[in-house]
């Protein structure tokens, strides 16, 4: 019985060291069954800028997805921080929304009420 315990412990350690995941992720995967899933993110656009210029970014991984017909799909872990940002193709204007926790279905609001695009263009 003692040998089986030692072999089991060594196997877990070898997996943890040889794996590309961190120890925290391994711990979560073993005990909390943390799994990746595809989140469906809807945008509520209250800005003058068209929705096609926005992306949603996973702040943990840096991966992002564009919106198509107001919906973006992104592979995430539960509660990963998602943030609405402008596409890297947009120059000279910046926008970063408040981060929200990932779940299967999320709605993110683009709120540009503090400054309009005309105000940004007129800044010198």
Nearest to 53 by CA among 4, 104, 91, 24: 91
| pLDDT of residue 92 exceeding 70 | yes
Residue 16: in which H helix or E strand, if any?
helix 2-18
**Per-residue pLDDT reduced to its tens digit, 62-91:** 999 999 999 999 999 989 999 999 999 888
Give the pLDDT of residue 22. 47
**Per-residue pLDDT reduced to its tens digit, 7-55:** 766 666 566 555 544 445 555 555 555 688 999 999 999 988 899 999 9
CA distances from 70 to 29, 56, 85, 106 (A): 32, 11, 14, 12
> What is the pTM (predicted TM-score) of this model?
0.65
Give the pLDDT of residue 33. 57
Token code pair at residue 116: 């309009």
Domain boundaries defined on the chain: 1-34, 35-122
CA distances from 1 to 4, 7, 10, 50 (A): 5, 10, 14, 65
CATH topology of domain 35-122: Immunoglobulin-like (2.60.40)
């Amino acid at each position: 019985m003692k040998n089986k315990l030692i072999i089991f412990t060594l196997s877990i350690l070898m997996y943890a060291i040889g794996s590309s995941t961190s120890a925290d992720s391994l711990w979560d995967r073993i005990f909390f069954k943390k799994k990746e899933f595809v989140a469906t993110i809807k945008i509520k656009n209250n800005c003058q800028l068209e929705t096609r210029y926005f992306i949603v970014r996973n702040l943990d991984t840096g991966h992002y997805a564009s919106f198509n017909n107001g919906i973006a799909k992104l592979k995430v872990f539960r509660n990963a921080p998602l943030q609405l940002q402008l596409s890297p193709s947009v120059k000279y204007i910046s926008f970063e929304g408040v981060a929200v926790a990932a779940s299967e279905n999320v709605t993110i609001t683009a709120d540009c009420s503090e400054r309009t695009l005309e105000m940004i263009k007129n800044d010198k």
